[in-house]
């Protein structure tokens, strides 16, 4: 991935090691004093509690375009604006009369009637790390508290449907869990599904070990743990670690789980629909195979799947960079929506495309666009959202909201509502402090299918 035109702070943002997260999480295993107990009871008495029940969106595929994609070149071009605002590309007429997408999105333009596009998202923070944090959590970053991502909250609120984890992340995690703790974080695949010989990192047996030997070692381990429990006054720590081990064991030995991750089960024709063998000058296979794997995981019962694709921090040469990144995304995204639809999965699967903010209204002196949080666009499909809805707009130069502003809190609350989670619900942070999932967020009912 070529990052020479990206911001240094974006490359360094949110890099936390698994070891650090587990070390912090282990602090929660200690005992409580009587004073602690009464504080907990008091906080819980005041806590706003709403039972989470599955909504129209049984599953979510979250596609992140890191670096901040330009709406002017994608979801909301302004062909009538002056040239210095308009940008280097033309337009594509979409399947919705009177609505156009950017020139580099011909396949997505054909499925616009299946999409819900919000052209009036209002952010606050034109900084990559802080903007991404805000977009994916609904809260601005603060030094006092780290908030969980939406996938982590879903994993907290709902049990897994099968041996497959409820929240999966294709690639590597970046500080997802916040105050909820590592046990609710995503299962990460590591690696890239487009690479030859891709294997999920934590589902490989130790070198030279077959399944029979692994099963024998598990029986020995279980016997040793049982003896420790008999001798140990407080076996809670062992129970916690053993729960992780048992879950990992069930995943490794489950044929259904292994098959869900196995892209060799897909035909060459399906892979080509998603872009394999095309877009050689770009990272096309990465976009397609990640989205194909996401579809397989949802089909197998995953509740929430996150993937990232491309680099969209185009301060310079936006034309060249869009030509490098967008064709593969355009093809793969359209293939994903059509594939879900044809398999009867789209109504129950919410797909949404997120980016941390937008790009400046005017093309700069080096043929790019800089950071702009005042107004930008995001796109959703399925999961009970209203298809063919183009909601809100910016002004003629893409400088500010012209109609139906949507805050990030309201956007997140809308997504939570479709999943079946009331965003007013309070979850317990460290120190027994109840925190609303989203502060003051209200679902945008106009985006939801009646």
Rounded to an integer, what distance in angstroms lies between the CA atom of residue 46 and that of residue 48? 7
Largest CA distance in the chain: 78
The two tokens of residue 447 are: 């985006």
Rounded to an integer, what distance in angstroms lies between the CA atom of residue 276 and that of residue 259? 20
Residue with tokens 């183009």: 390
Confidence of residue 195 (pLDDT cuts 50, 70, 90): confident
Question: How many other CB atoms sit within 10 Å of the CB of residue 292?
Answer: 24
Domains delineated in the chain:
8-447 (3.40.720)
Mapping DSSP to helix (H, G, I), strand (E, B) and coil, where does residue 403 land? Answer: strand
Strands 433-436 and 426-429: antiparallel
Contact (Cβ atoms closer than 8 angstroms) between residue 438 and residue 409: yes
Residue with tokens 């919705």: 96
Q: Is the pLDDT of residue 13 over 80?
A: no
For residue 277, the model assigns a pLDDT of 86
Higher-scoring residue by pLDDT: 28, 414: 414
Strands 376-381 and 115-122: antiparallel
Residue with tokens 């139906």: 404
Contact (Cβ atoms closer than 8 angstroms) between residue 133 and residue 152: no
| Mean pLDDT on 153-173 | 93
Give the orientation angle of helix 318-342 with respect to helix 284-299, to 10 degrees.
30
Rounded to an integer, what distance in angstroms lies between the CA atom of residue 81 and that of residue 72? 11
Is residue 338 classed exposed, middle or buried when 0-12, 13-18 and 19+ CB atoms within 10 A define those classes? middle
For residue 307, the model assigns a pLDDT of 97
pLDDT in tens, 374-411: 999 999 999 999 999 999 999 999 999 999 999 999 99
pTM for the model stands at 0.83
Rounded to an integer, what distance in angstroms lies between the CA atom of residue 428 and that of residue 180? 8
pLDDT in tens, 292-322: 999 999 999 999 999 999 999 999 999 999 9
Confidence of residue 25 (pLDDT cuts 50, 70, 90): very low
pLDDT in tens, 200-251: 876 655 554 555 554 554 455 455 555 455 555 554 554 555 555 566 667 7
Q: Is the pLDDT of residue 324 over 60?
A: yes
The two tokens of residue 243 are: 């729960």
- The continuous run of DSSP H or E covering 211 comes out as helix 211-231
Rounded to an integer, what distance in angstroms lies between the CA atom of residue 188 and that of residue 170? 6
Alpha helices in 232-381 (DSSP H): 236-253, 255-261, 268-273, 284-299, 318-342
């Amino acid at each position: 991935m070529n990052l020479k035109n990206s911001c240094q702070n974006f490359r360094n943002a949110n890099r936390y090691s698994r070891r650090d997260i587990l070390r912090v999480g282990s602090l929660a295993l200690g005992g409580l004093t009587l004073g602690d107990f009464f504080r907990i009871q008091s906080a819980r008495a005041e806590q706003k509690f709403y039972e989470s029940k599955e909504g129209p969106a049984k599953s979510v595929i979250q596609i992140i375009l890191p670096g901040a994609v330009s709406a002017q070149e994608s979801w909301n071009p302004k062909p009538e604006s002056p040239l210095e605002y308009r940008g280097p590309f033309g337009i594509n007429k979409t399947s919705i009369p009177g609505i156009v997408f950017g020139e580099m999105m011909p396949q997505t333009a054909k499925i616009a009637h299946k999409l819900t596009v919000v052209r009036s998202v209002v952010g606050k923070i034109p900084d990559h790390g802080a903007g991404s944090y805000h977009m994916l959590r609904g809260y601005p970053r603060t030094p006092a508290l780290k908030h969980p991502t939406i996938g982590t909250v879903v994993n907290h609120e709902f049990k897994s449907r099968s041996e497959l984890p409820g929240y999966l992340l294709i690639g590597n995690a970046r500080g997802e869990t916040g105050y909820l703790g590592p046990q609710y974080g995503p299962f990460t695949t590591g690696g890239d599904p487009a690479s030859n010989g891709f294997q999920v990192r934590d589902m490989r047996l130790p070198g030279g070990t077959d399944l029979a030997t692994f099963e024998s070692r598990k029986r020995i381990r279980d016997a040793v743990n049982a003896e420790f429990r008999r001798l140990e006054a407080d076996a809670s720590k062992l129970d916690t670690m053993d729960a992780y081990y048992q879950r990992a064991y069930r995943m490794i030995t489950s044929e259904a789980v292994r098959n869900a991750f196995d892209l060799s089960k897909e035909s060459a024709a399906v892979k080509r629909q998603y872009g394999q063998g095309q877009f050689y000058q770009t990272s096309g296979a990465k976009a397609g195979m990640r989205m194909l794997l996401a579809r397989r995981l949802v089909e197998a019962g995953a509740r929430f799947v996150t993937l990232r694709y491309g680099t969209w921090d185009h301060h310079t040469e936006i034309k060249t960079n869009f030509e490098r990144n967008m064709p593969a995304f355009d093809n793969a995204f359209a293939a994903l929506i059509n594939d879900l639809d044809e398999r009867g999965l789209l109504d129950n699967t919410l797909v949404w495309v997120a980016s941390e903010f937008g790009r400046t209204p005017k093309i700069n002196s080096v043929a790019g666009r800089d950071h702009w949080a005042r107004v930008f666009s995001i796109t959703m499909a399925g999961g009970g959202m209203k298809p063919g809805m183009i909601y809100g707009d910016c002004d003629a130069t893409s400088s500010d909201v012209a109609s139906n502003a949507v805050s990030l809190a309201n956007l997140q609350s809308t997504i939570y509502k479709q999943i079946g989670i009331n965003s007013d619900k309070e979850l317990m942070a460290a120190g027994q402090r109840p925190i609303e999932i989203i502060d003051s967020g209200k679902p945008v009912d106009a985006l939801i299918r009646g």
